[in-house]
């Protein structure tokens, strides 16, 4: 009894194969356009139009490849099935939401062929756009003409590339960059100097009726990236601090206090703490006797002096017992905070890439004198002549925070090796990257350093 229904459903599924394949290819093209609008400012998915890290670009390229392959497979299925199955030309109903002034929804009757052509046009545009990016420069114009049917689309594509390359070159602070090889059509002509042709191209771009919309879109994209980068930077600072305090106060603290509430627990975690306590008690006793001798304090018997010294020793014991407990709490709380920091870096790779791009724009967007000033400031602080004193204070404070004894040999060995390694890294970065990106900043740095 159910066999006719089964064959009827199979027949309907078979006859809807062209429409189903076209819809799937159309949805894949829409997904590519959504990624372009959301992350690349409406430009093609390419490293030239987005400041992302290698991991993020690998993800975007994988998504692009997946959707392009899906489009190609479904369009092959559409063309094959359309040769044997006739696409229905029945009239369908489409709801028009583009009339905000209307109180009621305007329902338009549209031919199915019109919808089909609209989907095919979007699919052809997406395929032609990425076919042009994957083709050598001498064939870009020919393929774009064949896909869109006019030379104007090829010119607009190259104008968009030139704008993106120009903005990226300004952000990096360099004039001559590899992006000069991807200039407008007029730059291919060598009859006139390139500076004049660039000026003509810039005027033509400024007179473009869509230039204002593109600038607004670029500003919105830049604003969103900057906001996300600052928000993530605050998270990197606030989340570990809050995690450390919360863990120390509510998780690790009660456990440590429970096990150390016994009076038999060690008061001092290391010998240095014990020496500090003895020195403090000795100073108190000597000060007390000195004040009695000069008449600043009333005369005291040896019994009263011993009693006050004993009370001071009890206070010192409680103080160092609490200090030892805090050091133990800090060890576990700092480990949890470091884990929270690492978890943020692992789970928020896109935000890490945005933050890196944001920092690059700030650093490379500074003037040459500002770059040289910052480099000299950091090198003098961390590897300069007076830096060993700062490293010594920093390491001693870290040891006191964790309850470890300040090993002088380790501190001196660290000061003798780590600043040297850091100075080598600074010099290599200046020679390898900054000298290539901003040679004038390197020259300014050398003049200021001399």
**Residue where a domain stops, chosen among 158, 179, 208:** 208
Query: pTM for the complete prediction?
Result: 0.53
Question: How far is the C-alpha of 433 from the C-alpha of 23, rounded, in Å?
Answer: 48
Indicate whether 41 and 83 sit together in one domain. yes
Rounded to an integer, the average pLDDT of 255-268 is 78
Q: Contact 213/306 with Cβ under 8 angstroms? A: no
Interval 125-145: pLDDT, tens = 888 888 865 544 444 333 334
- Asked whether residue 104 is assigned to any structural domain, the reply reads no
Of the given ranges (90-94, 234-238, 385-389, 391-395), which has the lowest mean pLDDT?
90-94
Contacts of 83 (CB under 8 A, 6+ apart): none
Residue 193's pLDDT band (cuts 50, 70, 90): low
Average pLDDT over residues 321-332: 91
Q: How confident is residue 263, by pLDDT bands cut at 50, 70 and 90?
A: low
Give the pLDDT of residue 6: 57
- Residue 107 in any domain: the answer is no
Model pLDDT, residue 132:
60
Q: How far is CA 266 from CA 46, 160, 324, 330, in A?
A: 62, 71, 8, 17
Q: Which residue has the higher pLDDT, 251 or 194?
A: 251
Residues 34, 45 contacting (CB under 8 angstroms): no
- As a whole number, mean pLDDT of residues 114-123 equals 83
The pLDDT of residue 236 is 94
Same-domain check for residues 233 and 322: yes
pLDDT at 421 > cutoff 80: yes
Please say whether the beta carbons of 159 and 208 come within 8 A: yes
Same domain, 247 and 279: yes
pLDDT of residue 417: 92
From the CB of residue 174, how many other CB atoms can be counted at a distance below 10 Å? 17
Q: Are 384 and 443 part of one and the same domain? A: yes
Do 244 and 284 lie in a common domain? Answer: yes
- Pair 127, 157 in one domain: no
Residue 432 resides in a domain: yes
Domain assignment of residue 308, given as a range: 219-351
Structure confidence at residue 7 as a pLDDT band (50, 70, 90): low
Where is mean pLDDT largest: 169-178, 243-252, 406-415?
243-252
DSSP string, 352-389: HHHHHHHHHHHHHTS-HHHHHHHHHHHHHHHHSTTHHH
**Is a pLDDT exceeding 90 seen at residue 233?**
yes
Count of Cβ atoms closer than 10 Å to residue 177 Cβ: 13
Question: What share of the chain in percent tops pLDDT 70?
Answer: 75
Q: Is 115 exposed, middle or buried (0-12, 13-18, 19+ CB in 10 A)?
A: middle
User: Which of 351, 383, 409 is at the close of a domain?
Assistant: 351
pLDDT at 153 over 50: no
> Which pLDDT belongs to residue 146?
39
Alpha-carbon distance 161 to 181, whole Å? Answer: 11
CA 404/CA 321 separation, integer angstroms: 15
pLDDT of residue 238: 96
Do 343 and 255 belong together in one domain?
A: yes
Q: Is residue 10 part of a domain?
A: yes
Distance from C-alpha of 357 to C-alpha of 206, rounded to nearest angstrom: 27
Q: Considering 189, 208, 227, which residue would you say is the last residue of a domain?
A: 208
Count how many domains the chain has. 4
Q: Are 403 and 327 in contact (CB under 8 A)?
A: yes
CA angle 184-185-190, nearest 5°? 100
Whose CA is closest to 286, among 264, 309, 314? Answer: 309
75 and 171 fall within a common domain? no
Strand partners, 107: 95
**3 lies in a domain?**
yes
Structural contact between residues 324 and 219, judged by C-beta atoms closer than 8 angstroms:
no
Same domain, 152 and 130: no
Residue pLDDT, tens place only, 357-413: 888 888 777 888 888 888 888 888 888 877 888 899 999 999 889 888 888 888 999
pLDDT of residue 104: 40
- Given a cut of 70, whether residue 19 has pLDDT beyond it is yes
Q: Does residue 298 belong to any structural domain of this protein?
A: yes
Mean pLDDT of the chain: 77
Q: From CA 164, how far away is CA 155, in angstroms rounded?
A: 14
Say if 100 falls within a structural domain.
no
**Mean pLDDT within 213-218:** 79
Residue 97 lies in a domain: no
Angle at 341 (CA atoms; ends 339, 346), nearest 5 degrees:
90
Please give the backbone phi and psi of residue 210, each rounded to the nearest 5 degrees, phi first: -95, 5
* Neighbouring-strand partners of residue 391: none
Tell which residue, 277, 280, 240, 270, has the closest CA to residue 402: 270
């Amino acid at each position: 009894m159910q066999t006719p229904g089964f064959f009827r459903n199979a027949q309907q599924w078979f006859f809807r194969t062209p429409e189903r394949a076209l819809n799937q290819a159309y949805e894949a093209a829409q997904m590519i356009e959504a990624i372009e609008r959301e992350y690349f400012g409406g430009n093609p998915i390419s490293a030239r139009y987005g400041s992302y890290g290698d991991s993020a670009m690998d993800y975007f390229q994988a998504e692009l490849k997946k959707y392009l392959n899906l489009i190609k497979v479904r369009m092959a299925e559409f063309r094959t099935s359309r040769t044997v199955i006739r696409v229905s030309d029945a009239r369908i109903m489409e709801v028009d939401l583009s009339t905000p002034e209307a109180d009621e929804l305007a329902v338009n009757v549209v031919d199915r062929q019109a919808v089909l052509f609209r989907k095919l046009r979007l699919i052809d545009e997406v395929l032609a756009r990425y076919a042009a990016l994957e083709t050598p420069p001498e064939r870009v114009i020919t393929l774009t003409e064949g896909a869109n049917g006019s030379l104007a689309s090829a010119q607009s594509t190259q104008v968009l590339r030139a704008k993106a390359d120009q903005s990226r070159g300004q952000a990096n602070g360099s004039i001559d960059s590899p992006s000069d090889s991807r200039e407008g059509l007029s730059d291919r002509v060598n009859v006139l100097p390139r500076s004049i042709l660039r000026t003509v191209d810039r005027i033509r771009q400024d007179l473009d009726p869509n230039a204002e919309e593109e600038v607004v879109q670029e500003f919105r994209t830049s604003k969103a990236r900057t906001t996300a980068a600052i928000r993530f930077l605050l998270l990197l600072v606030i989340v570990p601090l809050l995690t450390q305090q919360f863990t120390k106060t509510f998780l690790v603290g009660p456990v440590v206090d429970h096990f150390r509430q016994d009076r038999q627990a060690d008061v001092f975690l290391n010998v240095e703490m014990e020496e500090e306590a003895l020195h403090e008690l000795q100073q108190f006793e000597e000060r007390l006797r000195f004040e009695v001798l000069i008449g600043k304090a009333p005369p005291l018997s040896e019994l009263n002096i011993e009693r006050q010294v004993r009370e001071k020793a009890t206070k010192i014991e409680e103080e160092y017992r609490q200090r030892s407990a805090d050091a133990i709490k800090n060890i576990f709380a700092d480990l949890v905070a470091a884990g929270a920091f690492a978890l943020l870096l692992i789970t928020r790779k896109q935000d890490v890439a945005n933050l890196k791009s944001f920092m690059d724009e700030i650093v490379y967007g500074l003037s040459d004198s500002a770059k040289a000033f910052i480099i000299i400031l950091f090198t003098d602080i961390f590897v300069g002549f007076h830096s060993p004193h700062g490293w010594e204070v920093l390491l001693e404070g870290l040891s006191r925070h964790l309850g470890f004894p300040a090993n002088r040999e380790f501190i001196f060995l660290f000061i003798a090796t780590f600043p040297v390694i850091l100075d080598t890294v600074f010099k290599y970065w200046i020679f390898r990257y900054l000298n290539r990106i901003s040679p004038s900043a390197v020259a300014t740095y050398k003049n200021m350093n001399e």
